[in-house]
Amino acid sequence: MSEKLFGTDGVRGRANSWPMTVETVLRLGAAVGHYFRRNQHDCRVVIGKDTRLSGYMIENALTAGFTSTGMDVFLLGPVPTPAVGYLTHGLRADVGVMISASHNPAHDNGIKLFGPDGFKLSDKDEAGIEALMKNGIEPAAPNEIGRARRFDDARGRYVEYAKSTFPFRRRLDGLRIVVDCANGAAYRCAPDVLWELGAEVISIGVAPDGHNINQGCGSTHPEAVVSKVIETRADVGICPDGDADRVVLVDEKGQAADGDQIMALIATRWAEEGRLAGNTVVATVMSNLGLERYLASKGIALNRTTVGDRYVVEAMRAGGYNLGGEQSGHIVMTDYATTGDGLIGALQFLGCMVETGQKASQLAQVFEPVPQKLVNVRYEKDKAPLAADAVRKAIAAGETRLGSDGRLLIRKSGTEPLIRVMAEALEPALLDDVLSSVVDAVRAAS
């Protein structure tokens, strides 16, 4: 294993190709089990998954790896990623696993790991696990092999917890809500939570077949909800992604609101209520410059991190902050969850609707975004386009032209062989010109 196993959010790749092969996943399970096993007995791991066909294969391989090192395995079945974080801590497990490639197509899959506190693993933990995989893992003695069993109450426990985060003694009675579950992990629990809180629920993306997760639906394709909201005259639409750790909202007019807008709304209300810890929001370098300017106008600081909700959470914990997230829709509220939670994020927005009596369109567009564009450039794995002189010169020239009225961000994807080129500028023409020059240089070097 010469390549680095872990990316920005666990391990991810095409199913039945490295690293998502049975052999590698089995060894990963054994390495994680060995790394977290505290003593000879009573060590456990919880494993959840989304609805991809390859989830069965990966679940079985992980189970074999964990039990071979003496870990007992609790199989949760299809549940959202935040449910795994919640249940890892709640069931006093030593480690939690979510089998999912999040918003990626069905042919991909991934493995996200949680520590006993329910938070995602640190870079240090991941490096330790990779070292074990390279150096070898000692199996348990025959009489110490672990057991595996289904845990049938996982979804019910998460449903009840999610409902408990909604404002006390408030209900969703009278609201018509479209929810698109992306044919993914939340296809049962999200409609259940909304219905049990009193809403009239119109569900789409709730017929997973192993192949249709994120296919023309969910947070990466909100147009499905936009159409349904307009057709049914719904009050709001909710779009989680395949593992439901992020969300995009659609107002009654069919206009989508991303994670930046949702964070701006929650931050403003929490600051007014004295609930915003440190009067600070944590977001990544991808969040819009308009969010930063809006928060500053309210006396709220924005702390930026590298891309990945795991790094957002690390900064939040280090600074004692309780609100953060990503433009893509990860909304992290450590008062309620250990990771991004699309459903609980949506419930906070719905709580604002109920408490203020305002329509979704009055709440969802909190600030005017600075024009922003993102272009993904695919590169050959043996190439290093960001190291090319022509690319460096194009980036430097673009930054000079943008000055203080814009931003340029170029980075490698942590999950795919892509260079992501993002530019912001108050002048749309300048934005297009700078973006084109950098993209052309990256493509030439790819």
Q: Which residues are catalytic?
A: 102
| CA angle (19 as vertex; 307, 50 as ends), nearest 5 | 70
Amino acid at 235: D
Q: At what angle do helices 259-273 and 289-297 cross, to 10 degrees?
A: 10
Continuous H helices in 325-378: 342-356, 360-364
Distance CA 423, CA 340 (A): 25
3-state secondary structure of 50: coil
Q: Which of 152, 153, 239, 251 is nearest to 203 (CA)?
A: 239
Cβ atoms of 14 and 42 closer than 8 Å:
no
Sheet arrangement for strand 200-204: 200-204, 176-180, 236-240, 247-251, 256-257
Sheet arrangement for strand 331-332: 301-305, 280-284, 324-325, 331-332
Q: Two tokens at 133?
A: 């995989």
Q: Which of 11, 155, 19, 28 is nearest to 87 (CA)?
A: 155
Distance CA 225, CA 221 (A): 8
Cβ contacts of 325 within 8 Å, gap of 6 or more? 259, 262, 263, 282, 283, 309, 312, 331, 332, 340, 345
Overall size of the chain counted in residues: 446
Query: In whole angstroms, what separates CA 134 from the centre of its chain?
Result: 29
Distance CA 365, CA 256 (A): 9
Sheet arrangement for strand 72-78: 11-14, 108-114, 95-99, 44-49, 72-78, 148-150
3-state secondary structure 232-261: HCCCEEEEECCCCCCEEEEECCCCEECHHH
Q: Which of 227, 239, 243, 206 is nearest to 364 (CA)?
A: 239
Q: Two tokens at 199?
A: 């809403």
